[in-house]
Structure formats: C-alpha cells, structure tokens
Amino acid sequence: MTGIAAMALVGMSAATAAAGTSVSAKGERGAAYFQHNGDKLTVYDYKKDGWGVEGEVSWKSGGRWRSANVKPGGGGQHASQSLNIKEGTEIQLILFYIDPDGAYINGRVHTGRA
C-alpha cells in the first residue's frame, strides 16, 4: 500500500500530511518561536538580568544538517529571522540561556514541521 493510499484510508490528504506545525520553547528568561507559515524564527529576551537567550532551528537538507540562530540584543528585546525550509521538513527548536560569563546552557529540543 502506498503512503497516499494509507492516508486516504484514515481520511488524510497529502496536503494535510505535509502540513507544517509551529513550535515554541518558553522559559522564565525568554522564548523562541518557529512559525511554520513563513518559516520564521523569533526569539524574545524577557529580562534585563545579565543573562542572554538564543534560539536555534535545525533541519536536514540534502543529507546535511543546517541551522539558523537568532539572539536578541538584550533584555526586553526580540529578534527574528525568515528562513526558507522545504515544506514538510522536520525542524528542531532549542532555546539556549547564556549566563553572564558567556556560557551556554542548553534547553530541551522541541520538534515541528516547516
């Protein structure tokens, strides 16, 4: 049975199966959002506390991992980057905290689809 035939049996269209999903990673110091409609990464730094935040989106393209990072300029600010990721591609979103000494603290991986 082909993938399209299987989707038809469960009432899904090919367009529904490939539809993107937006994803977010939120914490007490900031948040990162990947908006699938337009492939946009936006990162917010909530606090002026000496800590930084950075958001990263990663995806596979042509057999290689690609990534984009966005880091706001400081507390109370946000920054965005538009990306061009093939529709239906799985993405991974991570929100990093950056301590006052510049060390990165990894967050949890969140998955979505472009």
Residue 4 falls inside a structural domain: no
pLDDT of residue 48: 95
pLDDT of residue 19: 76
15-44 b/e (C-beta count within 10 Å ≥ 16 → b): eeeeebebbebeeebbbbbbbbeebbbbbb
How many domains are there within the chain? 1
Q: Can you give the pTM of this predicted structure?
A: 0.82
- The candidate with the shortest Cα–Cα distance to 42, out of 68, 63, 61, is 68
Q: What is the CATH number of the domain that holds 76?
A: 2.60.40.10
Residue span of the structural domain in which 48 resides: 20-113
Residue 39 falls inside a structural domain: yes
Residue 64 falls inside a structural domain: yes
Residue 63 falls inside a structural domain: yes
Each residue of 29-50: pLDDT tens digit?
999 999 999 999 999 999 999 9
φ, ψ for residue 8, nearest 5 deg = -65, -35
Residues of the chain with pLDDT under 70: 1-18
